Amino acid sequence: MASANSPHLEPIDALRRIAFLLERRRGETRKVEAFRKAAAVVLTTGEDEIAARAEAGTLTDLPSIGASTAKVITQTLAGRVPDYLAKLDAGPLVDQTPETLAMLGSLRGDLHSHSDWSDGGSPIEEMVATCLELGREYQALTDHSPRLTVANGLSAERLERQLAVVDGVNAHLGGAFTLLSGIEVDILDDGSLDQTEEMLERLDVVVASVHSKLRMAKAPMTRRMIAAVENRHVDVLGHCTGRLVTGGRGTRPPSEFDAEAVFAACAEHGVAVEINSRPERRDPPDDLIRLALDAGCLFSIDTDAHAPGQLDFLAYGAERAAALEVPTERIVTTWSREDLLAWTSRR
């Protein structure tokens, strides 16, 4: 993705960059969609027609091109940085301490992200393009499982079709970047996983998370989580408390469970505890990260991105991991692709 200071900024680059920056700052979804739709129209319309319409002032006659996006296109074609892009804050999301920068620089990928196959906002290809632009080595595509109908969770049949898309993306890229197949599978009430054994067997990465009955009593919630961690398919325990600390969905208290017992199971079975980078989650809380450290757990710093701009959320997780002095060698997302896949194949 070309930066605002690029000498070769094209209209589609400017529109996508604006959408990205709006997303990373958690801007309004409708605004993000407006710029992404405009970029799609520019992509499918000839350059000569776009230039002619910009000169004639008829860009808004095209579908999904409004006054704001037309101005961005016109200013870009004139060799200017569009006013809308210039006013967006593209600065760092977190304080650039040496420790945070070192942690962020050590991260090679991300094991938790969503596409428009479930409740994400963008196609797989757009998410992959952004990963490439951010310099990632790998990204796990972990759309939701079928019981989470509100998130359009993937049945075994739909997941099967998605795996073919993942294979196609990787064949096209030729090894420059790897899209890992995966799922964020629901941990059901009894600790079983919401996907068929056959499909879980075929995936590179399985993130297991609780999404329902978050207020379950402590003892059964503990049994539920430990049962999932003991499942041989599970690689990462996602956003373990389910809390929300800020944001448009309001706040939500953490689930109650015996964290020492759950983290002991994670350490015993080599399951990574996710440091979820979403600013509205900050999950686990600091005290639980310290507890997981003491238990000898592995960690996975993940974005839980539902849109391309949110792939930059790794900075939030890196800041927390650095502040809590999590050793990089215990963070699986600092590992090479080969070492990561050897770990996910361990069981």
DSSP string, 305-331: BSSGGGGGGHHHHHHHHHHTT--GGGB
Q: What pLDDT sits at residue 248? A: 78
Cis (ω within 30 of 0) for the bond into 284?
yes
List, in sequence order, the alpha helices (H) in the chain.
Answer: 11-24, 29-44, 47-56, 67-77, 83-87, 98-106, 124-133, 156-173, 197-202, 218-230, 259-269, 286-295, 314-323, 337-344
Q: Are 333 and 235 in contact (CB under 8 A)?
A: no
The segments of the chain whose pLDDT lies below 50 read: none
Q: Give the Å distances, CA to CA, from 342 to 70, 148, 202.
A: 49, 30, 14
pLDDT in tens, 21-68: 999 988 888 899 999 999 999 999 989 999 999 999 999 999 999 999
Q: What pLDDT sits at residue 91? A: 81
By CB atoms closer than 10 A (0-12, 13-18, 19+), residue 290 is middle
Q: What pLDDT sits at residue 28? A: 85
DSSP string, 110-159: ES-B--TTTT-SS-HHHHHHHHHHTT-SEEEE-PBPTT-GGGTPPPHHHH
Q: What pLDDT sits at residue 1? A: 54
List, in sequence order, the alpha helices (H) in 231-273.
Answer: 259-269
pTM beyond 0.95: no
* Cα four-point dihedral sign 177, 184, 263, 201: negative
Q: Are 188 and 228 in contact (CB under 8 A)?
A: no
Q: What pLDDT sits at residue 26? A: 83
Phi, psi at 327, each rounded to 5°: -65, 135
Q: In whole angstroms, give the CA distance from residue 38 to residue 227.
A: 47
Q: In whole angstroms, give the CA distance from residue 262 to residue 208.
A: 13
Task: Collapse the DSSP code of 193 into the 3-class scheme (helix H, G, I; strand E, B; otherwise coil) and give the result.
Answer: strand
Q: Are 160 and 199 in contact (CB under 8 A)?
A: yes
Residue ranges of domains in the chain, CATH in brackets: 11-87 (1.10.150), 98-344 (3.20.20.140)
Q: What pLDDT sits at residue 121? A: 87
